[in-house]
Structure 1
């Protein structure tokens, strides 16, 4: 007879390491965050954004992250028994913001905070 653990489907997310701490979030969110941080670093500015996370006990959380030229983000793939954190609207906003920074070379003012609810699909200029 098989062990019950063999039937558990493993879910994969990304653990983002930042400033001596780490957060667990969805893979697409982590990759979009790192892409945006890279774009900001390329033009020498920064921004603050909030991303949905998963706490150690599996409950949803939210983290505020300052990203920019000095950001040293590392995303490690990690298995989790919990459902992946997904926020397609946030991923799209982060990707648009990164594209705008790269194409215009004129990002929003340094360290400007994103709208309180990162899932609000408002203008990218709010980054």
Structure 2
């Protein structure tokens, strides 16, 4: 488990989730964009809740390894989505150009 430290509060979440959140935050910051991201976190009573983080260029977010009570919080779909979004910022793909040639234009 990892503890996310954000805006003076601490949020306990799974390792993969924390790693994906930080990587996405860094990518958004590099791209000078911000976004709200929701992740599952452990509550003091042992239950889970959803926390929303505004991440981007001005985000000051830290994670550290923490002993957690209960099982590791996992959300494979969230981690996959955050990693895909990170990759799309770091290595954007372009669409093929569609060139319209004038009628009668010879391509040979």
Range into which the TM-score falls when normalised by the shorter chain: 0.7 to 0.9
Q: C-alpha offsets along residues 74-126 of structure 1, whole Å, 9 cap, x if unaligned?
A: 10101123111000110000000000011129xxxxxxxxxxxxxxxxxxxxx
- Which residue of the other structure, out of 30, 33, 38, is the alignment partner of 2:21? 33
- TM-score (norm. length: structure 1): 0.71
1:23 and 2:37 are equivalent in the alignment: no
Following the alignment from structure 1 to structure 2, what is the Cα–Cα distance between the partners of residues 71 and 81? Answer: 27
Aligned pairs for 1:47-126 (under 5 A) are 47-104=35-92
Task: Give yes or no for contact 2:12–2:68 (8 Å, CA) kept in 1.
Answer: no
Deviation sequence 1:53-92 (CA, Å, 0-9, x none): 1101110111011000011111010112311100011000
Q: What count of residue pairs does the alignment treat as equivalent? A: 93
Secondary structure of the residue aligned to 1:57 is coil
TM-score normalised according to structure 2 size: 0.83
Structure 2 alignment gaps of length 5 or more: 94-108
Gaps of 5+ in 1: 1-12, 106-127
Point out the structure with max Rg over C-alpha: 2
Taking only aligned residues, the RMSD between alpha carbons, in angstroms, comes to 1.2
